[in-house]
Amino acid sequence: MASNDIGDWYRSIPQITKYWFTGSIVVPLIGRLGILHPQWFILDFNHFFYKFQLWRPITAALYYPISGPKGFHFLMNLYFLYSYSTRLETDAFAGSPADYAFMLLFNWICLVIIGFVSDLPLLMDPLVLSVLYIWCQLNKDQIVSFWFGTRFKAMYLPWVLFGFNLIIGSGGMMELFGIVVGHLYFFLMFKYPQDFGGVQLLKVPNFLYRLFPRRQGGMSGFGQAPSSRRRPEDGGNEGGLWRRHDWGQGQQLGGN
């Protein structure tokens, strides 16, 4: 019965999130079991450009140490990945997996460039934070809960995570890179064309639509922020442009 429940849950994960989530489990397990040494997974400029180890930008976004004190952080990454990637793919990008795949591809390419310039060996943290940031911007007035019962608007969540890791984690730079890349996508895709009347600078390549065909009920147009129904507690239109659905009382992020 338990295995059936796990199988049903896994099959319910949306397509792109399932690929990402699965890779983020398989690659760290390969390193943890010693099948391949973790050094084969990290981002390395010399090995990529001079030894043509072209897989490294991909594995650097999927690999994270799962032993020792980093194990809990890895589990939190998986939780954020599953929770917020699923929410984005099934709401703002519902019916259009190619658009969601392009968002991940854009964020990943930006982080690979940052990784080469800044000598970052692992990209899992900032990639997950970039997706979380975009969800928070699209649902900025949604109330979320954090540890110890703290509650605040979703728009502040990436900065809370940045501050949290700045104080007790690894310095917060990974979170900051994720915020920067997530904001870049959000600005170019949504704010610049809609708020500033600019041209659509980001467009999904056709090969992604061939790989991931649209499904009925998808977005009305790529680059168009999800619209929301005005609710009395919104106080008018403020913050309502980017929210499409009411997510209830928010997502519990960690234990009390």
Domain boundaries along the sequence of the chain: 2-214
pLDDT tens digits, one per residue of 158-171: 999 999 888 877 67
The whole-number pLDDT of residue 218 equals: 46
The whole-number pLDDT of residue 25 equals: 97
The whole-number pLDDT of residue 40 equals: 97
Are the C-beta atoms of residues 223 and 200 closer than 8 Å to each other?
yes
Query: What's the predicted TM-score (pTM) here?
Result: 0.83
The whole-number pLDDT of residue 68 equals: 76
> Among 163, 169, 166, 133, which Cα is nearest to 150's?
163
Residue 224 token pair: 């168009």
Strand partners, 143: 153
Q: Which CATH architecture has domain 2-214?
A: Up-down Bundle (1.20)
Give how far Cα 175 sits from Cα of 48, 57, 249, 250, Å.
24, 18, 25, 21
Are the C-beta atoms of residues 127 and 107 closer than 8 Å to each other?
yes
The whole-number pLDDT of residue 234 equals: 38
CA dihedral 153, 159, 164, 166 (to 10 degrees): -170
pLDDT, tens digit only, all 256 positions of the chain: 556 788 899 999 999 999 999 999 999 999 999 999 999 999 999 999 999 999 999 999 999 998 877 888 899 999 999 999 999 999 999 989 999 999 999 999 999 999 999 999 999 999 999 999 999 999 999 998 887 778 889 999 999 999 988 887 767 899 999 999 999 999 999 999 888 888 889 999 999 999 999 886 544 344 444 443 333 333 333 333 333 333 333 443 443 3
Are the C-beta atoms of residues 122 and 60 closer than 8 Å to each other?
yes
Are the C-beta atoms of residues 134 and 155 closer than 8 Å to each other?
no
